[in-house]
Amino acid sequence: MLSKRILLIASVASCVHAFSFNVNSQTHNANNADISRRQAIATTFGLSALIAQSQTANAIAKPPSEEDLKRIKVGYDQIQYLLQNFEQETTTCRENGGECKRDAEPIRRVLGLRSTTDPLFQIDKVFARVKYMDVDPDKLDDFFAASEDWTSAMTMSNSMAFISQFGEYNPGGGKDEVLKYLNESKKQVETAAQCLRVIMDTLDIKYD
């Protein structure tokens, strides 16, 4: 962090020096007034960009908040509920005793893939900031492995869930094909849940 600040200060100083030199030299040459103005504007934009980059870096280099950690627990609980009630949660029926169909959307929802309000929406960004927390060093290898496995399981589950929605309409498809891909998606959700347990162990987040 200190080295980044030193580099930022050096960059700002360089820009200021360049600007000062250009202004001083151009006072002797009125024909270069337009160039001076352009360079001044460019320098201003350069300083603004450096400051913005510094602010962004500082925002990223913060540990997860309490609210971030709660999101992990809430998301895990939602996944567990889905797994325990999988058939019920992934079945939708029309009103008045109409036809029932299997629906993969609840899977995508608990994985944080449906809405920005889902607890696990872009949760990988929270995982990336764990390195700024004071955690047991002996658990970090398992944590980073679980984070990578989470991403893989989430991606695969999402793919299987998506395919299942069209399994009935594909050539040679039908309800059995829908169920096949739905169950494959469920297996990946189970893997994702295991990854979250490792992550919560590292972060001392209690779960049932």
* pLDDT in the model for residue 208: 82
Mean pLDDT for 4-31 is: 44
**DSSP secondary structure of the chain:** -HHHHHHHHHHHHHHHHHHHHHHHHHTT-GGGHHHHHHHHHHHHHHHHHHHHHHHHHHHHTSPPPHHHHHHHHHHHHHHHHHHHTHHHHTEEE-TTT--EEE--HHHHHHTT-S-TTSTTTTHHHHHHTGGGS---GGGHHHHHHHHHHHHHHHHHHHHHHHHHTTTTTSTT--HHHHHHHHHHHHHHHHHHHHHHHHHHHHTT----
Report residue 9's pLDDT band, with 50, 70 and 90 as the boundaries: very low
User: At residue 168, does pLDDT exceed 90?
Assistant: no
Lowest mean pLDDT among 102-116, 125-139, 163-177: 163-177
User: At residue 38, does pLDDT exceed 60?
Assistant: no
Mean pLDDT for 184-191 is: 98
User: At residue 27, does pLDDT exceed 80?
Assistant: no
Mean pLDDT for 9-33 is: 45
For residue range 95-106, list pLDDT tens digits in order: 776 788 999 999
Tokens of 206: 């209690």
Q: What is the model's pTM?
A: 0.70
For residue range 45-66, list pLDDT tens digits in order: 555 555 545 454 445 679 999 9
Mean pLDDT for 14-27 is: 44
- Please state, rounded to an integer, the average pLDDT across all residues of the chain: 80
Tokens 């001044």 map to which residue?
Answer: 40
User: At residue 81, does pLDDT exceed 60?
Assistant: yes
* Alpha carbon distance 168, 177 (integer Å): 6
